[in-house]
Amino acid sequence: MILANSITHSIGAIFQPVFKLFADILAFIYSFVPSYPGAIALLTILIMGALTPLTVKSTKSMIAMQRLQPEIKKLQQKFKGAENRAQLNEEMMRLYKEEGVSPAGGCLPMFLQFPFLIILYDIIRGLTNVSSTKLPVPTGCHLGIHYTNIAPRYIPNTSKMYCDLISSNGKMMNLGIDWALKPFSHHSSVWAAIPFFAFVALAVGLQYLQMSQMSKRNPATQANKQMATLQKFMPILFAYIYFLIPAAVLVYMIVSSMIRILTQDIIFRTGVAVPLTAQQNAVGKGSGPKAQPIEAKATEVETVIREEDATPKPQANPATRAKDKKKRKDR
């Protein structure tokens, strides 16, 4: 137990500067937009703006992986069995290298969300920190009190957010909601808890929409029952996480999902990443934008044959025809 606490303390000490950096940015935004959800939404926009290039790269990587699915299946059929596992991995890595594709590239933005989720969760928890002893109130707050048990962490004690948290006794009140609470926290009434469950439903719905938006453009995913099942149950897993975090952190998840949905839609509409159609996906690796479906190639062959049949054949010389006729009569 002592060792575990020591490790946790060490990890916390390492990430303290990161927590403080984002808390300072949040407090700075709050000084201009004195709204907890509003400030978090603006911070989310800044974070997602920094991650947008990675989102574009990830989407292009996912489309490229679609094009390689037929070739990957061929390799899997060719190198079946545990004894060929090493050779299969070697051939697949060679294929990825030749095509310039990273298998993990499509999952990168999703994994990058979790560090920011953890950072914001710890910051929000730190903002509502309560001290066991009375602490002096910063002179810049002008609250009419001299000591308080509220001790927000990470943010500067001269910031407007710091003073507002002390003034509200550690509650993140805005729009009649304490954004530091969770869906199953103690609420004043059943009606007061409804918005918190609505936030979870909205976050899960957007998560499902985002995954559905990509799978609709990915015939390989639709054909893979395991992937389809995973995409259906992933939002349920996220729902469990959302029930355990404050509503203020849910603002980050809601806004980030909305931005990612919009970004993916723009990527496909502008042609930055062109998804495969179901017909192209069935043709194989050569089914890219420059390739032609099998049916089109067959039509071309038929057209060529018809053109050859329709080509007028050269007529024989009249003198030659007369000689041939005379020979037939002599016979």
Quick one: pLDDT at residue 248?
92
What residue type is 219 in one-letter code? P
Please tell me whether the overall predicted TM-score, pTM, comes out greater than 0.75 for this model.
no
- Neighbour tally for 50: CB within 10 Å: 10
Output the pLDDT for position 73. Answer: 80
Q: Which of 32-36, 132-136, 188-192, 304-308 has the lowest mean pLDDT?
A: 304-308
- Pair 251, 41: CB distance under 8 Å: yes
Provide the angle, in degrees to the nearest 10, between the axes of the packed helices 2-32 and 160-167.
110
Token representation of residue 97: 């290298």
Question: In the prediction, which pLDDT does 290 show?
Answer: 41
Pair 256, 206: CB distance under 8 Å: no
Bridge-based pairing state of the strands 177-178 and 130-136: unpaired
Amino acid at 57: K
Q: Residue 212 — pLDDT band, cuts 50, 70, 90?
A: confident
Average pLDDT of 124-129? 89
3-class DSSP string for the chain: CHHHHHHHHHHHHHHHHHHHHHHHHHHHHHHHCCCHHHHHHHHHHHHHHHHHHHHHHHHHHHHHHHHHHHHHHHHHHHCCCHHHHHHHHHHHHHHHHHHCCCCCHHHHHHHHHHHHHHHHHHHHHHHCCEEEEEEECCHHHCCCCCEEEECCCCCCCCCHHHHHHHHCCCCCEECCEECCCCCCCCCCCHHHHHHHHHHHHHHHHHHHHHHHHHHCCCHHHHHCHHHHHHHHHHHHHHHHHHCCCCHHHHHHHHHHHHHHHHHHHHHHHHCCCCCCCHHHHHHCCCCCCCCCCHHHHHHHHHHHHHHHHHCCCCCCCHHHHHHHHHHHHHC
Q: What amino acid occupies position 149?
A: N
Whether the predicted pLDDT of 157 surpasses 70: yes
Q: Which of 69-83, 96-110, 313-327 has the highest mean pLDDT?
A: 69-83
In this predicted model, what pLDDT tens digit does every residue of 23-73 receive, in sequence order?
A: 999 999 999 999 999 999 999 999 888 888 877 777 777 777 767 777 778
Among residues 246, 248, 254, 255, the alpha carbon closest in space to that of 37 is found at: 248
Q: Is the pLDDT of residue 285 over 70?
A: no
The whole-number pLDDT of residue 228 equals 57
**Whether residue 135 has pLDDT greater than 90:** no
* Confidence at 234, pLDDT banded by 50, 70, 90: confident
Residue 217 structure tokens = 């453009």
**CA gap 244, 57 in Å, rounded:** 31
Residue 243 has pLDDT above 80, yes or no: yes
Q: With bands split at pLDDT 50, 70 and 90, how would you rate the model's confidence at 326?
A: low
- Tell me what pLDDT residue 88 has: 78
Range 174-180 average pLDDT = 91
Residue 247 pLDDT > 50: yes
Q: How far apart, in Å, are the Cα atoms of 22 and each of 158, 171, 326?
A: 16, 20, 105
- Is the pLDDT at 288 greater than 60? The verdict is no
Asked whether residue 104 carries a pLDDT value surpassing 80, the answer given is no
Structure confidence at residue 272 (pLDDT) = 59
Q: Pick the range with the lowest mean pLDDT from 13-27, 201-215, 234-248, 270-284.
A: 270-284
Mean pLDDT value across the chain: 75
Q: Hey, what are 47's tokens?
A: 């974070």
What's the pLDDT band for 284 if we cut at 50, 70, 90? very low
Q: Evaluate the CA torsion angle 121, 237, 49, 32 in order and state its sign.
A: negative
In whole angstroms, give the CA distance from residue 166 to residue 267. Answer: 45
Sketch the domain layout of the chain as residue ranges: 14-128+171-276
